[in-house]
Structure 1
């Protein structure tokens, strides 16, 4: 099991005189995606720093205004040439042309380009998580695998999604030969005690906090799936007819599922088991329902009377509540990252956390500009508390933002997608 970054422990690669020693906390990058865009009137920001004003969709992120970059007006030209949903999502992180007619062809996404180089230093080059399974059907002559995947390992290979929290956790912390029923934490406690004697008091506290967080996630994974079914179709049995419930299932509470995935992502960053991750909260053209959220439009009921995709067409108060629910998941991750100290900075300060969608407004399916925010500081290389507006400018490729983000992780392709230069302001 990997350790969290500890200030009192040098790592391989430290050399005197280096401007950035290997033991300095690395920069991490994660992308959080939610499909079908946002409320037409409530995705906006204006002002700077603490005085930045936010639309209602972004209110859950109000505590992070000084660490937020709100980017307006960027888009993908290629995404406007196909149909809605599939061709708007399959190239979201690449800007590549999308093949139609059942063929699967997009482009290498920038998270996987980072994983090919920057990710080599970690056990898991990139962690690709999801809370809704992929859809293999076809929509208007385009495969809906496009609308189910934002991360692509090659132009013809969407990166496999991990929907199961237990398996995502195992990938980070268990070796293939380890007994499946043995706690990761129990297996390393003796080594942890030996390590504890040789580190500073602050690092001892950090190690204890980390071990406690691992145990908490283990317990929550163990109980995942024990709640009643909440998504869509209601089963005819209140309890399974099998003698024994299958172990390590998907949590049936969608909010708990999303938070567990966020916890695992944070642990992956905290332990340096991975530095790159994507979390797809749902598909574009999503079938998720939200019985956990009380409906404004149908008092006394949850927001489970309509699937996410159709709800996005309404642009009403329940749609706004679902938007805010997604932003709460990003705020949850940001808060956890910001609570972990790494030397003079927090883990959020050493991270770029981007939340995006494949269209601006679900009711319009418009992607002439895309909703994008970036939280964190990229190890002191990214300044938050700003609104960048590229509307009306000639060179507003979203891939320019990706080039800027890769640059902050010392990965510098000459071009990426349809972009040839970075965004100077980022």
Structure 2
């Protein structure tokens, strides 16, 4: 049986692939299949990388979103003042934009493609593009129990605004061009998704995952190769048993999650009435998901663009978020700082988790952004973007990068650069085919 079985160089299962030995039934293995960009899970000594996006709708105070200098000497505008302790751990990116976001209306068409750079359908139709968090979830995060955790602190708005669906204003994460990723608004249900009893994908046997592919292969190879394949699979099973037994005896070395179960109680059912409590619970769940390795990809939408949230917890209850964003007032700055404090809180909690020589913050990439620079002008010609964390030592932080006069200032170029840190290397994403310089 001299067949070309190049696709059988690897046995494949759900989120799993396993290399095969040489077999006489194949005259040549053929070319190696092109890498899908999927990054390997951490080896025995290295913690995995995590990716998070925090979104705040309606932009920020027009004169208080800025940074200058570098490292310990970096100066931050009023909006970013809660991040003073993390100046050396962040990148302030100025001048990036999405070209497609300038072609429609305000709010909806500025938000629906924030993480994809895709053109949006108008007239109430729903069509965007797969977002960067979901691409990473499919190619990097699928070894965890929850490949992608998508959290929200304000419910989705299904209405239409200026000929564009408000679902665009309500969703930054998209699983496909026509499918916004479902939002988890209830902290208790997000907690259950992370920790409710059930099989953990990464705990499943590799061999069990590829048995269907192996059975298919057995029908195509010679008798001697079948014996060789059976011997090979038996050896893999024996290794799995030894690893499982060693784990029970506590003999395994290398990286392990610092928590194996939640260290906070299950949140109460329903949506917290206090917006501060709601946001803080969602931040805790993001950190807990990373710390237990239940997920490595999380998107947290603090509010919608065109948001209706009010802030009685701040003593600012006379106007909804959207209308407040139209005036660069002291109250608007206070609300902005409240949002940035959520990022600072996450950073502090991750930085307190030691993972070898690094912390969980060092092993993360957290992007904080909005769909416009200023709510008072609806300006999306440049977007407010911060990246916090070290990507496992792959990201040089403590810098201000200004792209306003650069030939390439596409948000999707940033996404290509960030995905590279996770071993997900694509030729193109959204409207970009090149990486962002200096990231």
Q: In the TM superposition, what whole-angstrom CA distance separates every residue of 1:120-178 from its partner, at most 9, and x where no partner exists?
A: 1111110000000000000000000000000000000000000011110111111369x
1:289·1:306 contact (CA, 8 Å) conserved in 2? Answer: yes
Q: What is the aligned partner in structure 2 of residue 228 from structure 1? A: none
SS in structure 2 at match of 1:292: helix
Aligned equivalent of 2:286, options 239, 257, 265: 265
CA distance in 1, matches of 2:387, 2:198: 35
Aligned equivalent of 1:113, options 131, 135, 147: 135
Answer yes or no: is 1:216 the counterpart of 2:264.
yes
Q: Residues 196, 292 of structure 1: CA spacing in aligned structure 2 closer, same or farther, 3 A cutoff?
A: farther
The equivalences for 1:404-423 within 5 A come to 404-423=417-436
CA distance in 1, matches of 2:378, 2:156: 20
Unaligned runs of 5+ in 2: 1-17, 19-39, 200-245
1:36·1:312 contact (CA, 8 Å) conserved in 2? Answer: yes
CA distance in 2, matches of 1:205, 1:152: 28
Q: What is the aligned partner in structure 2 of residue 133 from structure 1? A: 155
CA shift for structure 1 position 198 = 3.1
CA shift for structure 1 position 197 = 7.6
Q: What is the aligned partner in structure 1 of residue 343 from structure 2? A: 330
Q: What is the aligned partner in structure 2 of residue 54 from structure 1? A: 76
Aligned equivalent of 2:250, options 189, 198, 203: 198
Structure 1 stretches of at least 4 aligned residues deviating more than 6 Å after TM superposition: 194-197, 202-205
Answer yes or no: is 1:274 the counterpart of 2:287.
no
Q: What is the aligned partner in structure 1 of residue 358 from structure 2? A: 345
The equivalences for 1:305-320 within 5 A come to 305-320=318-333
CA shift for structure 1 position 199 = 7.1
Q: What is the aligned partner in structure 2 of residue 95 from structure 1? A: 117
Q: What is the aligned partner in structure 2 of residue 184 from structure 1? A: none
CA shift for structure 1 position 290 = 0.2
Q: In the TM superposition, what whole-angstrom CA distance separates every residue of 1:95-132 from its partner, at most 9, and x where no partner exists?
A: 00010001000001011011111011111110000000
Q: TM-score, normalised by structure 1?
A: 0.80
Unaligned runs of 5+ in 1: 1-12, 178-193, 223-247, 294-301
CA shift for structure 1 position 204 = 11
Q: Residues 204, 404 of structure 1: CA spacing in aligned structure 2 closer, same or farther, 3 A cutoff?
A: closer
SS in structure 1 at match of 2:412: helix
Aligned equivalent of 1:290, options 308, 311, 316: 311
Q: How many residues align?
A: 356
CA distance in 2, matches of 1:165, 1:32: 16
CA distance in 1, matches of 2:78, 2:248: 46
CA shift for structure 1 position 315 = 1.0
CA shift for structure 1 position 217 = 3.7
SS in structure 2 at match of 1:303: coil
The equivalences for 1:345-364 within 5 A come to 345-364=358-377
The equivalences for 1:40-189 within 5 A come to 40-175=62-197
CA distance in 1, matches of 2:101, 2:265: 38
CA distance in 1, matches of 2:278, 2:77: 26
**Structure index of larger Rg:** 2
Aligned equivalent of 1:253, options 274, 277, 283: 274
CA distance in 2, matches of 1:87, 1:204: 42
CA distance in 2, matches of 1:138, 1:203: 48
1:165·1:260 contact (CA, 8 Å) conserved in 2? Answer: yes
Q: What is the aligned partner in structure 1 of residue 15 from structure 2? A: none
CA distance in 2, matches of 1:268, 1:366: 34
CA distance in 2, matches of 1:80, 1:205: 43
1:123·1:172 contact (CA, 8 Å) conserved in 2? Answer: yes
Answer yes or no: is 1:387 the counterpart of 2:400.
yes
2:408·2:436 contact (CA, 8 Å) conserved in 1? Answer: no
Q: What is the aligned partner in structure 1 of residue 234 from structure 2? A: none
Q: TM-score, normalised by structure 2?
A: 0.77
